[in-house]
Structure formats: C-alpha cells, structure tokens
Amino acid sequence: MSPSEELELHERVLHGHRVAYRQAGSGPVIVLIHGITSDSTTWGRVMPYLARRFTVLAPDLAGHGASAKPRGDYSLGAHASGLRDLLASLGHDRATFVGHSLGGGIAMQFSYQFPELCERLVLVDSGGLGRELSLLLRAATLPGSEYVIPALAATRLLEAGRFGAGLLGRVGLRLGTDIEQMARGHATLSDPGARAAFIHTLRAVVEPGGQRVQASNRLYLARSVPFMLVWGEQDTIIPVSHGMATHEAMPSSRLEVFPCSGHFPQLDEPERFIDVLTDFIDSTKPARMRAEDWRELLTAT
C-alpha cells in the first residue's frame, strides 16, 4: 500500500478556539486520537481505507497540528472534554475510540469520563499502562527543558532523522519510522505555542522517572467495553511489555503484537492495522453503558 492522499482538513471554533480535524466516510463512527507532537496526519495511511465502511474522525488535539495552542489546561481530562465537545458539535452520539501513545491515555480518560459515548476502546502503543518510557521524553520534563528545546528544534534534526530512517529502511528495519516521526514532531517545537503545549501536556503525564499517570487501578471499568491492545514489538518509546501486562490483567481484552513495527504500527504495517481494527469492530458488539451499569461497576467488590 502506498501512502494515501492527504484528506481535507476542516476547522471548527469551540469555546473561542480553533479545532482542526479530518473526517471522511459514513457509517459507525471511529475516532482516531494521535500522540504527543503528532497530528491527524499520522493516520493518513489507514484513514481513507477505513472510511470506505465507517465515519472516521481524526482531530488535531489542542496544542497540536493546526488546532489552537492557547494557554490553558492540557491534562488528559481537558483533552477528553475537548473530544466530547467536538463529537457533539459534529452530531456524533457514540464512537469506537482508537488512541495512539498519548492518545491512548486520552482514550482511556474519555471512556472513564464519558462511558455512555464509548462503544469500543482500542489502545495503540499506549501511554498510561506502565512506568517505563524513552529517556528523551523523560528528559523533556526536567526543569529548564523549555529553554533547551528551542535550540534543539532549530537544528537540522528533522533532516538527520529522515536520513537515519532511510538508512534503517534500506536494511529492512522498521525502527526508522520511530526516528523519523520523533524528529518530525521535534521540529514542530520551534513554534512557541506548540512548545508550551508540549511541555504542559508532557508534564501532566510524565516525570523524570517515567510515566506518572497509571490506568491500572481503573482498568476494571473497561470490562464491559470491547477492548483491544495493538503494539509494535520493536517499540523504542513505550515497551511492548506494557501491552502484554495489561492483557494479562484483563483476559477479556484482545492483544495484537505487530512484529515488524515500532511505536507507529499504523505507519509500519498499515494493511494489517486496517485488517485487525475492522475485524475487531465486526466481531464485537458496541457497548451501551447506562448510568446504572456504571454505578454497578464502581460499587462492585
């Protein structure tokens, strides 16, 4: 499969701020949530194909891509609320939520805050499921990092990343995608607004020792929602062991490990990603959470 054409970017103003998003197709709704320093284009290889059967919505999160980068709240809860408002403004009542990396943490937070809107939950190389994280992201939370990042972002790191990715690709290693995407995201931090949003978002979920937000004590709440984990076996940013441990803790979940992928399986193995996701949707019944169901889950011993 060759890289797809870029889908049109739309904009909507919510609470006085611009929200950029891509939307295509018709049918049941799938929301694709990107990771930190990324944007909706990270789904470019899979979105047009999914749109043949589904309504696919891929927003640029606040502080990312073409969306506004205001001073304000960049917590997981704020991102989840922003997604809720975008869905409502577009007339979508429920959806299957697919979150990559930071987007996985946001998807989990969304399913916790707004369970009645979540039909299925798919976590792709997700944050929030373990302590370990790449040194580069942990270092970015250190005091004073906001003064160092501009100098680094002004370098030719993006070109170097692409060069390194190309070399790895020639010898058959998919880890080049991780390098290229990290360099691409790093280059966006030359913009002061994007840089401030990155620091606030990262520090909300990461500290120098690793990930600070853990979902393990709330995973039981997802037992009534079809739940799938997708992970690149060669992930250099968040280890595949997090996905395996989560699957072990939730035997009702589905785990798909992509042996030839790093942190971005939707880019490394898009054909398999599409097949796995559509099969998961076809083989599961969408959740219909009621207030009494949620109350029962919370009070169960």
Two structure tokens written together for 289:
């959470």
Catalytic site residue from 34, 125, 263, 268: 263
Length of the chain: 301
Distance of CA 115 to the CA centre of its chain: 18
CA atoms within a 13 Å half-sphere pointing along the CA-CB vector of 138: 12
In the residue annotation, 73 being an active-site residue is answered as: no
Catalytic site residue from 39, 178, 235, 268: 235
Of 223, 206, 227, 24, nearest in space to 102 by CA: 206
> Whole-angstrom Cα distance, residue 280 to residue 264?
19
Alpha-helix residue ranges (DSSP H) falling in the chain: 47-50, 76-89, 102-113, 135-139, 145-153, 157-170, 175-187, 192-205, 240-249, 265-268, 270-282, 291-299
In the residue annotation, 101 being an active-site residue is answered as: yes
Catalytic site residue from 38, 40, 67, 101: 101
In the residue annotation, 93 being an active-site residue is answered as: no
Catalytic residues: 101, 235, 263
